[in-house]
Amino acid sequence: MSTHSLLASLFQYNAWANHELFAELQRLDPQAHPAELHAALRILNHIHVVERIFVANLQGQAHDYCATNTPETPTLEALHKAMQATDAWYLEHVAGLRAEQLHERLSFSFVDGDAGCMSREEMLAHIISHGGYHRGAVGRIMAQLALAPPRDIYTRFLHQAEPERRQVSPGGTPEAASANFSATPTNPGE
């Protein structure tokens, strides 16, 4: 898999993981757990703000953020909609990149005023790892409330998106899977 196709897959996974988490958060009773819902929203809003900051950085544009979160906390519905739009932007952006653009270094300023310089590929990798890290914190909040958080793992996404992968035997191809599955091993210990 090329770096470019890997990035496309990772951003598809990121959008899927965000959607899964928002769907599960709908089950959280805001009346019974207002502090926990607020904490989850603050974390998710932080993810969103950072992703928007890097949208601007990737476009070489200024942004209006002076911190990595906003003073106000959006509703679950409003934030979900905003994050879906940002996920769509990243999917389109990655799909439109040429391989040589991935290594292009861009200079920008962090919200604290420090200078930054990263390649496009590094920025995109940051978005994926940053979102996963913080979704895990929201999952921990859910677990403390005895709500099962979504299984936010790349392998789960891949196998849900491409169920035929479950038909592949180790080291084989989908076509060989049925042949390998029905073959009787000569040594039962193999």
Quick one: fold of 3-152?
Answer: Four Helix Bundle (Hemerythrin (Met), subunit A) (1.20.120)
Query: Tens of pLDDT along 168-188?
Result: 666 665 554 444 333 333 433
Q: What is the pLDDT of residue 4?
A: 64
Helix-, strand-, coil-residue percentages of the chain, each rounded to 5: 65, 5, 30
**Residue 51 parent element (H or E):** helix 34-59
pTM of the model: 0.83
Q: What is the pLDDT of residue 60?
A: 94
For the chain (190 residues), the mean pLDDT of every run of 10, in chain order, is 79 95 92 95 98 97 95 97 98 95 96 95 97 95 87 81 78 50 36
Query: Tens of pLDDT along 132-172?
Result: 999 999 999 999 998 887 888 787 888 888 888 888 666 66
How far apart CA 48 and CA 66 sit, in angstroms, is 14
Q: What is the pLDDT of residue 172?
A: 63
